[in-house]
Amino acid sequence: MNLHEYQSKLRFGDFGIPIPRGKVAETPEQAYDAARELGGKVVVKAQVLTGGRGKAGGVRLAGTPDEARAHAQTILGMDIHGHTVHKVLIDPAADIQSEIYFGVTNDRGARLPVIICSSEGGIAIEEVAATMPDKVIRVRVKPEIGLRGYQVANIASNIGLPREHWKQFGQIAGALYKCYVESDATLAEINPLAVTPGGLLAVDGKMSIDDNALFRHPDLAALRDASADPPAEIEARAAELSYIKLDGAIGCMVNGAGLAMTTMDMTKLFGGAPANFLDIGGGASADKVAAALRIILSDPNVKAVLCNIFGGITRCDDVARGILAALEEVRMEQPMVVRLVGTNEDEGRQIIDESGLPNVIGATTLADAAKKAVEAAGREA
Ligand code: GDP
Ligand code: MN
Q: Is 189 in the pocket of ligand 1 (CB under 6 A)?
A: no
The atom number, within ligand 1, closest to the CA of 42 reads: 23
Give the C-alpha distances (Å, rounded to integers) separating 256 from 81, 284, 297, 356, 368: 33, 10, 20, 28, 19
Question: Rounded to the nearest 5°, which phi and psi values hold at 55?
Answer: -60, -30
Question: In whole angstroms, what is the distance from residue 32 CA to residue 86 CA?
Answer: 16
Q: What is the pLDDT of residue 86?
A: 96
243 is catalytic: no
Question: In whole angstroms, what is the distance from residue 354 CA to residue 94 CA?
Answer: 70
The CATH number of domain 21-92, selected from 3.10.105.10, 3.30.1490.20, 3.40.50.720, 3.40.1260.10:
3.30.1490.20
Q: Is 123 in the pocket of ligand 1 (CB under 6 A)?
A: yes
Q: From the CA of 204, how far away is ligand 1's center (Å)? A: 7
Which of 42, 45, 126, 203 maximizes ligand 1 atoms within 8 Å of its Cβ, making it the mutation to test the pocket? 203
240 is catalytic: no
3-state secondary structure of 123: coil
Question: In whole angstroms, what is the distance from residue 125 CA to residue 137 CA?
Answer: 12
- Identify the residue whose C-alpha is closest to ligand 1 atom 16: 122
Region of 184 (left: φ > 0; alpha: ψ -120 to 50; beta: rest) is left
Work out whether the CA dihedral 30, 31, 34, 40 comes out positive or negative.
negative
The atom number, within ligand 1, closest to the CA of 45 reads: 7
Low-confidence ranges of the chain (pLDDT < 70): none
| CA proximity to 268, closest of 306, 221, 313, 229 | 306
Q: What is the pLDDT of residue 282?
A: 74
Q: What is the pLDDT of residue 226?
A: 81
The CATH number of domain 98-221, selected from 1.10.10.60, 3.30.470.20, 3.20.20.70, 3.10.129.10:
3.30.470.20
The predicted-structure confidence for 72-87, as pLDDT tens digits, reads as follows 999 999 999 889 999 9
Domain boundaries, the chain: 21-92, 98-221, 230-380
Q: What is the pLDDT of residue 79?
A: 95
The C-alpha angle with vertex 268 and arms to 284 and 278, in degrees rounded to 5, equals 20
Considering the candidates 67, 99, 120, 189, report the single residue annotated as catalytic: 189
| CA proximity to 200, closest of 95, 125, 118, 104 | 95
For domain 230-380, the question of CATH label 3.40.50.261 is answered with yes
Give the C-alpha distances (Å, rounded to integers) separating 51 from 56, 126, 173, 264, 379: 9, 11, 22, 30, 39
Give the H or E element holding residue 52: none
Q: From the CA of 337, how far away is ligand 2's center (Å)? A: 46
The atom number, within ligand 1, closest to the CA of 121 reads: 14
pTM (whole model) above 0.85: no
Q: What is the pLDDT of residue 322?
A: 86
